[in-house]
Amino acid sequence: MVPTSPKILALSGGVGGAKLALGLAQVVPSDALTVVVNTGDDFEHLGLKVCPDLDTLMYTLSGLANQTLGWGQQDETWQFLDALKRLGGDTWFGLGDRDLATHVHRTALLAQGDSLSAVTARLMRSLGVLTQVVPMTDDSVATLIHCQNGETLSFQHYFVRDRCEPLIKGISFQGIETARRAPEFEQLIAYGDLSQIIICPSNPFVSVAPILDLAETWKALKAADCPVVLVSPIVAGMALKGPAAK
């Protein structure tokens, strides 16, 4: 169905973008706001499909976000991770028990043939999120960090496991050349009566860039008939939070 009512389109990464998305959701009617989320951080861990930025949006908009950690769910427990550690398993990525349920359910639904867009919509509804939150693509795109020591790491291995310590030589997005915008995203770009496009204050290199590079979305933004507003996470040359300064 082609959108007909004016909408605000927000492009977001994780924590920083989620905070602005929450503010928008509190003042913009749910049927007038769509948040498109970076999926370049997505990866498979312990056989599970993990979507860090989508989950951050979901937990933030549903009121379940862990404000202390800045990621995951509030009132989290860690019995699974403790048991995995005793067994000698890989525990560098913090999977809380509540968070684990999200990844298990998502992986099972994807295995049944559902698209990431459909699964995301189902998870959002389950947690009472009324705002439309969609992945940037249903195809596989992976942010790769090319290090000066010759290693190439997935973003989560660089950011979480290695704590942003390796020096970066470059960044690339595997699969971006053939990936397509998710259907809801494509409809808004192609046919949506947009009143405003907002680029949320997410990491410009690894959160915003994949969305803009996807199917040359940056060209569509340049040609848009509505204001395009960029909220920068970098102030006076300094990144406010996260790995952007690296």
For position 213, what pLDDT does the model report? Answer: 98
* Domains of the chain listed by start with CATH number: 7-64+77-245 (3.40.50.10680)
pTM of the model: 0.93
What is the full per-residue pLDDT of the chain (246 aa) written as tens digits?
A: 444 567 999 999 999 999 999 999 999 999 999 999 999 999 999 999 999 999 999 999 999 999 888 889 999 999 999 999 999 999 999 999 999 999 999 999 999 999 999 999 999 999 999 999 999 999 999 999 999 999 999 999 999 999 999 999 999 999 999 999 999 999 999 987 899 999 999 999 999 999 999 999 999 999 999 999 999 987 756 666 666 555
pLDDT at 3: 47
Please write down the HEC assignment for all residues of the chain. CCCCCCEEEEEECCHHHHHHHHHHHHHCCHHHEEEEECCCCCEEECCEEECHHHHHHHHHHHCCECCCCCCCECCCCCHHHHHHHHCCCCCCCCCCHHHHHHHHHHHHHHHCCCCHHHHHHHHHHHCCCCCEEEECCCCCCEEEEEECCCCEEEHHHHHHHCCCCCCEEEEEEECCCCCCCCHHHHHHHHCCCEEEEEECCCCHHHHHHHHHHHHHHHHHHHCCCCCEEECCCEECCEECCHHHHC
